[in-house]
Amino acid sequence: MKENNEIKIKKGDEVIMLKGKDRGKKGKVIKVLPKEGKVVVEGLNLVKKHLRPKRQGEKGEIIAVPRAVYACNVALWCPTCGKGVRVGYRIEGDKKLRICKKCQQLI
């Protein structure tokens, strides 16, 4: 990763995976880790986690948990283009708006 850890993906964004076992799948960002340069995407990059039983007589279980993935391995999904795109910015008045680099539409 670069020194400048500017992540252009925010919580709640729809993204598409570019690399890994879930390549081509879409999901919603549930957490952003800017210091590590990673994002956690709902339903993608799942790993199995073994849980111990909480009380006596209860059974342990195996659950699937989403793990963080580098932000450079996901692309923001543009609903207008229908594909993963890079993010640009446009300043209108005192607001900084994110736009699609391909179609120039607001994201």
For the segment 21-53, what is each residue's pLDDT rounded down to a tens digit? 999 999 999 999 999 999 999 999 999 999 999
73 phi/psi in degrees, rounded to 5: -95, 5
For the segment 82-95, what is each residue's pLDDT rounded down to a tens digit? 999 999 999 999 99
**Which H or E run includes 25?**
none
**Which H or E run includes 56?**
none
Q: With 60 as the cut, is the pLDDT of residue 65 above it?
A: yes
Contact assessment for residue 60 and residue 53, using Cβ atoms and an 8 Å cutoff? yes
Q: Examine residue 52 and state whether it is found in any structural domain, yes or no.
A: yes
Q: Examine residue 76 and state whether it is found in any structural domain, yes or no.
A: yes
Q: Examine residue 74 and state whether it is found in any structural domain, yes or no.
A: yes
Q: Examine residue 67 and state whether it is found in any structural domain, yes or no.
A: yes
Q: Examine residue 85 and state whether it is found in any structural domain, yes or no.
A: yes
* CATH number for position 37: 2.30.30.30
Q: Examine residue 65 and state whether it is found in any structural domain, yes or no.
A: yes
Long-range CB contacts (< 8 A, 24+ apart) of 1-10? 1/37, 1/70, 1/72, 5/34, 5/35, 5/36, 5/37, 7/32, 7/34, 7/37, 7/39, 7/71, 8/76, 8/87, 8/98, 9/39, 9/71, 9/74, 9/76, 9/87
Domain that holds residue 68: 14-100
Q: Examine residue 7 and state whether it is found in any structural domain, yes or no.
A: no
Query: Number of folded domains in the chain?
Result: 1
- How high is the pLDDT of residue 14? 95
